[in-house]
Amino acid sequence: AQTVTQSQPEMSVQEAETVTLSCTYDTSESDYYLFWYKQPPSRQMILVIRQEAYKQQNATENRFSVNFQKAAKSFSLKISDSQLGDAAMYFCGGGATNKLIFGTGTLLAVQP
Amino acid sequence: DVKVTQSSRYLVKRTGEKVFLECVQDMDHENMFWYRQDPGLGLRLIYFSYDVKMKEKGDIPEGYSVSREKKERFSLILESASTNQTSMYLCASSLTPIWGYTDTQYFGPGTRLTVL
């Protein structure tokens, strides 16, 4: 069985600062994929970043990067230079096939 | 850009009614998914389909059924709506027909269903 845990229901960050959202993904699969999705208020959920478990290098997308620690089952998202538009619900998800499991989400507030 | 559309943003129904939620994707994706999103519970998979007329149960299929008659369209059916089915329903699609590879899912805007 797979489990995804997001232990921070809410987080807050000052504009231009850096924030890290935590996620743990537990699975018996040796190869799998991990995702962070963003859901802005009243808007569509969109992909922020994805990580393939067999890759040693952590994924980065502009101001977004992940810290993937496979042995520790940890998959955290770092947002640098936070902007007001980063305010959203963030979901961590993972899967070895097309069926993903998602966490309960972290609501990120960005303070001006 | 991939576009996933859902038939309604907001829907209000009465207990016992049959409810249809429609989802359409325009990118020829093989896989389509229905989730429900509830505060504190995240996204939970109801059903998914990996091909026309093919479907598999997700984690919470009870009280729901689905239909996929055409590749681009995936319908979620509540046979007899109940108040505990009040929720946000999200549809998603992804491309990959290859087993062992997990592709990005593209989501629709969601339908907020209220059952009175």
Instruction: Kindly determine whether residue B43 and residue A93, on different chains, have CB atoms separated by under 8 Å.
Output: yes
The chain B residues in contact with chain A (CB within 8 A) are 31, 35, 40-45, 48, 50, 56, 58, 90, 92, 94, 96, 99-110
Side chain identity at residue B38, one-letter code = D
d(CA B37, CA A90): 13
Task: Point out which residues pair with A3 in neighbouring strands.
Answer: A26
Give the mean pLDDT of A46-74. Answer: 92
Give the mean pLDDT of A43-70. Answer: 92
- pLDDT at A86 > cutoff 90: yes
Is A98 in contact with B51 (CB distance < 8 Å)? no
d(CA A60, CA A50): 9
Instruction: Kindly determine whether residue B104 and residue A96, on different chains, have CB atoms separated by under 8 Å.
Output: no
* Chain B environment of A47 (Cβ under 8 Å): 104-106
More confident residue, B2 or B60: B60
- pLDDT at A53 > cutoff 90: no
- pLDDT at B109 > cutoff 80: yes
- pLDDT at B98 > cutoff 90: no
More confident residue, B46 or B2: B46
pLDDT at A98: 74
* Chain A environment of B95 (Cβ under 8 Å): none
What pLDDT digit, counting tens, does each position of B8-59 carry? 999 999 999 999 999 999 989 989 999 999 999 999 999 999 888 889 999 9
Instruction: Kindly determine whether residue B42 and residue A103, on different chains, have CB atoms separated by under 8 Å.
Output: yes
Task: Point out which residues pair with A68 in neighbouring strands.
Answer: A75
Q: What is the DSSP code (8-state) at residue A18?
A: -
Nearest to A91 among B42, B56, B99 (CB): B42
pLDDT band at B100 (very low <50, low <70, confident <90, very high): low
Instruction: Kindly determine whether residue A96 and residue B43, on different chains, have CB atoms separated by under 8 Å.
Output: no
pLDDT at A55: 84
Lowest model confidence (mean pLDDT) among A31-40, A67-76, B97-106: B97-106
What pLDDT digit, counting tens, does each position of A11-36 carry? 999 999 999 999 999 988 888 899 99
Q: Which residues are within 8 A (CB) of B23 and not within 5 positions of it... i.e. 6 or more apart?
A: B4, B5, B6, B7, B32, B34, B73, B74, B75, B76, B91, B93, B108
pLDDT at A42: 80
Instruction: Kindly determine whether residue B58 and residue A99, on different chains, have CB atoms separated by under 8 Å.
Output: yes
* Chain B environment of A9 (Cβ under 8 Å): 40
* Nearest CA distance, A102 vs chain B (angstrom): 6
pLDDT at B97: 58
More confident residue, A31 or A60: A60
pLDDT at A8: 96
* Chain A environment of B99 (Cβ under 8 Å): 97
* Nearest CA distance, A35 vs chain B (angstrom): 8
